[in-house]
Structure formats: C-alpha cells, structure tokens
Amino acid sequence: MTDSNKKVTFPDLGVSPEVCDAIRRLEWSSPSPIQREAIPAGLTGADLVGVAQTGTGKTGAFLIPCIDRLGEGRGLQVLVLCPTRELAQQVCDDATALLARPGKKVAGRVASIYGGVGYDLQVKALQNGFEIITATPGRFLDLMAKGMVDFENLGTLIFDEADRMLDMGFRPQIEEILKKIRGKRQTMLFSATMPNGVHDLASRITKNPIWIEIAKSGTKADGITEFVYSVKPDMKTPLLLHLLESEEWTQVLVFTRTKSGAGILQKALSRQGILTGALHSDLNMKQRTRALERFTEKSVRVLVATDIAQRGLDVDGISHVVNYDVPSDPEDYTHRIGRTARAGTIGTAVTFLASNDLGVFKSLIYHLGRDLGKVSLPEFDYIGSSQLTGENKSKSSRSAGGMGSKNADELTDEELRALLGG
C-alpha cells in the first residue's frame, strides 16, 4: 500500500506511459486516495472492495487498471454494472477518453447498454466484440437472454455504486448475471456506503479481496460545508429564490422528493428569470441527456432533480446542493451532497427543514452522527409560527385549489402561486 501522505504520481503506481498520457489529457493531476490504493492492487489482477466518499475518483480507480490490462481484439473483457443510465454513460465516456490515443488506433472499444433507448447500437457493440461494456443490470440481462453476450474472455467484473443497485431492487438481475459468468475473473466492487447487504454480496462474489476503505462508510468529503435552514412549508420556494440572489450560488443542484415537485419547482424558478432545467424519470433518455448537457455546459444555472441524479452525476463546478425536501434515507443524503466538492474542491450543501420533516431530520442526524450548521432567517423560519390544525392539514395535503394530480405544465400562473405559497 502507498503512503497516503506522500506525493505520488500515476507512473509511481505502475500505470503505463500510454494510459498516463490519456490521464494527462483529462487533466487528472494526481491520484486521489482511493486511486493510490486501488490502482496498484487492480493492476495485479486481485479482487477489490473499495469504499470512499462520492466524488473521490472511484471511477478512475477501477478503469485505469482495467484499461492498462486490456487485450486487443479478444471481445468482451470488462463489464461494469451501474445502477442508472446516467452513471453507465458517464463511466463509458471516461473509458472512451482513457482509451484514446491521438494519431494512433484506440486501445479498445467501449459501449454503454441501458434501457429507454433502441437495441440496435447495443447489439452491434456486443456482436462486434467491444472490449468494455458499461451497463445497467436490467437491459444487460435482457440481451443475455437473447443470446447476445459472450463471456468467454471476460476478465474483469465491476460493480459501481453497488449499494444503490441493491436499493433499486437489482439483486435478482445481478444474481442471474453471476450465474452465467464462469471461470476465473477479477471482481471489483465500489461504493460510497457499505450496508450489510452490500457487504454480504462483496464477501460472496470476491475471492480473498483487498478491502480499501478511505473513509468510514457514508462520510462526507472534506470540502463540503453543511447548513440547515428552518423554513415554513409554503416558504421553501421564496427562500430558494432569496438564496439564489447571491452571486456565489453559481451552479446549483436542487433535489426534490417527487417528480411532480421537480417539475413544479423548475417552472416556478424559470418564471422568475432563472435558467433552470429538470431531471427525473418521467423524461425520456434524450430529454435527460439534454438536461445534463445543458447543466454541464452551464447553459442553465439550476438543475432540479429527483434522486435519479444522486449517483454518477459528475459535473465540475457545482457550488451548491440543495435538499429542497429532507431525504428519508441517510445514504441518499450522503450521495446527494457528494455532487459538490468533487475531486478535492469545495462546495456547500443546504437542507430545507420544515416542521413536518422534523422526525425524518432527527433520524438523519442520528445516523450521520454529526450536527449540521443551523441558519434562521426570520422572514422564512417556521419557528414560532402557528401550527396547522388537523382540519387545515387535511386541506393543505391536497393540491391548492383542487388541482389534484396536474403536472407543472398544466398549472396556470395563479395555481402555481397558490401551490408554492407565493
């Protein structure tokens, strides 16, 4: 193992000159802690289990040794399973960059496989023997069932964000895929958290693995500053608009609990002249990809998303993450705030705490094992405000003005103001 306090370079870790050149083109200046430990071990072909905070370079930790050991023209050699389409595509993009050799033939071919898009290009990638495949378990298993996958030369199987895959119910698909993979292989499993289910899976599918834990499971990155704003339920949007008046809020990712909430908030911010996009599962893949591109290119300042974006969203320069609704799962909180302060930078995580979320918030704090900095702005704060009666709660639990289940695009200006309390 390397000395975590010593200044090391990628060549020091045993990475080949060709891959080091690709790393320099990506402007990855030096290995992150998880990369310092995982790359040398990965280059030996050993099984690995890695735990590190989000945004610390786990993707590079498994891709770099895989690409350095890749053999040309031998068909599928590396399979990376991911929980979401967005993460599968981002891993594919990173692999493509690491495989590039300007002026020379690429060192290998990579394709992403996931649902929500057509089969043709994915089938062609498998038929043509692409060396690296990044995939979501559902679509990949579908193509396996059609006889499209050849595992004969598979040398490395990787589980990225394994905890999220189990959270999303992919265990049956994972088990089916594992049944079809025979022979000796290298297995790597990476995650930001290590609940019991993931620990059991890691212990069962790896052989004498090297366990690398850079930080305690669920730990936040050092560069993140956390704040909690107590706010009346109907003042969340006005509070967000107030905070967005600051020029320091340059690139903002806002998480809502529901898809409809994301759409409504996106529309409300846009009506105030704030360039805002939305990302949730009701959008098709083309719309989701375009939303991410616009946010990455800084064509929009704010992206309002559901937890579909908490994993694998690797966008440089996110200054603030906002939990518009308190997440009910502490691991979701960890992954949400991990979208900022990536790769050693700094960022701010803000949580809006309404009175009806106090129970969930107390549970969150208990599981995190740390306090969050509390901020009170009197014009928005719920403290001291009158509590709703049971009758009022019943009325307010429905959309304002009898709007029922309308989505954001169906609301009039008056309905939207009533719904958002402004």
Residues 16 and 118 in one domain: yes
Residue 219 lies in a domain: no
Residue 353 lies in a domain: yes
Integer angstrom CA distances of residue 347 from 139, 193, 249, 323, 357 = 35, 21, 10, 14, 24
Domain containing 136 equals 11-213
Determine the average pLDDT of the residues in 14-18: 96
Q: Is the pLDDT of residue 384 over 50?
A: no
Residue 357 confidence (pLDDT)? 92
> For the segment 168-189, what is each residue's pLDDT rounded down to a tens digit?
889 999 999 999 998 889 999 9
In this structure, the dihedral spanned by the alpha carbons of residues 83, 84, 89 and 92, taken in order and rounded to 10 degrees, is 0
Given pLDDT bands bounded at 50, 70 and 90, which one contains residue 412?
low
Cβ 50 vs Cβ 39: under 8 Å: no
Given pLDDT bands bounded at 50, 70 and 90, which one contains residue 39?
very high
Determine the average pLDDT of the residues in 75-85: 95
Residue 252 confidence (pLDDT)? 97
Residues 278 and 159 in one domain: no
By mean pLDDT, which of 24-33, 89-98, 412-421 is the weakest? 412-421
Task: Report the relative pairing of strands 302-305 and 252-255 from DSSP bridges.
Answer: parallel
Residue 405 confidence (pLDDT)? 45
Residue 149, class by beta-carbon neighbours within 10 Å (0-12 exposed, 13-18 middle, 19+ buried)? buried
Integer angstrom CA distances of residue 153 from 42, 83, 129, 191 = 18, 24, 10, 26
Residue 275 confidence (pLDDT)? 97
Q: How far apart are CA 148 and CA 142, in angstroms?
A: 9
Residue 5 lies in a domain: no
Q: How far apart are CA 413 and CA 314, in angstroms?
A: 34
Residue 409 confidence (pLDDT)? 57
Residues 125 and 263 in one domain: no
Pick 216 or 292 by higher pLDDT. 292
Residues 368 and 401 in one domain: yes
Residues 89 and 137 in one domain: yes
Rg over alpha carbons for the chain, rounded to the nearest Å, is 23
Share of the chain above pLDDT 90, in %: 63
Residue 310 confidence (pLDDT)? 58
Residues 60 and 187 in one domain: yes
Q: Is the pLDDT of residue 318 over 60?
A: yes
Task: Report the relative pairing of strands 156-160 and 320-323 from DSSP bridges.
Answer: unpaired
Given pLDDT bands bounded at 50, 70 and 90, which one contains residue 386?
very low
Q: Strand 320-323: give its sheet, edge to edge.
A: 276-279, 302-305, 252-255, 320-323, 347-353, 224-230, 373-375
b/e 235-254 (16+ beta carbons within 10 angstroms → b): bbbbbbeebbeeeebebbbb
By mean pLDDT, which of 81-95, 192-206, 259-273, 398-412 is the weakest? 398-412
> What are the start-end ranges of the H helices in 280-411?
285-296, 330-337, 358-368, 390-396
Q: How far apart are CA 91 and CA 98, in angstroms?
A: 11
Q: Is the pLDDT of residue 93 over 70?
A: yes
pTM of the prediction? 0.70
Q: Is the pLDDT of residue 390 over 50?
A: no
Residue 4 lies in a domain: no
Which of 180, 213, 246 marks a domain boundary?
213
Residues 160 and 233 in one domain: no
What is the average pLDDT score of the chain? 86
How many angstroms separate the first and last alpha carbons of the chain? 57
Residues 95 and 208 in one domain: yes
Q: How many domains is the chain partitioned into structurally?
A: 2
b/e 268-279 (16+ beta carbons within 10 angstroms → b): bbbeeebebbbb
Residues 35 and 115 in one domain: yes
Residues 154 and 45 in one domain: yes
Q: How far apart are CA 337 and CA 326, in angstroms?
A: 12
Which of 184, 213, 242 marks a domain boundary?
213
Residue 368 lies in a domain: yes
Cβ 313 vs Cβ 284: under 8 Å: no
By mean pLDDT, which of 91-100, 127-136, 257-266, 283-292 is the weakest? 283-292
Determine the average pLDDT of the residues in 281-293: 87
Residues 246 and 206 in one domain: no
Which amino acid, 212? I
Pick 314 or 153 by higher pLDDT. 153
Q: Is the pLDDT of residue 82 over 90?
A: yes
Which of 213, 244, 259 marks a domain boundary?
213
Question: What CATH number has the domain bearing residue 26?
Answer: 3.40.50.300
Residue 79 lies in a domain: yes
Residue 1 lies in a domain: no
Residues 150 and 281 in one domain: no
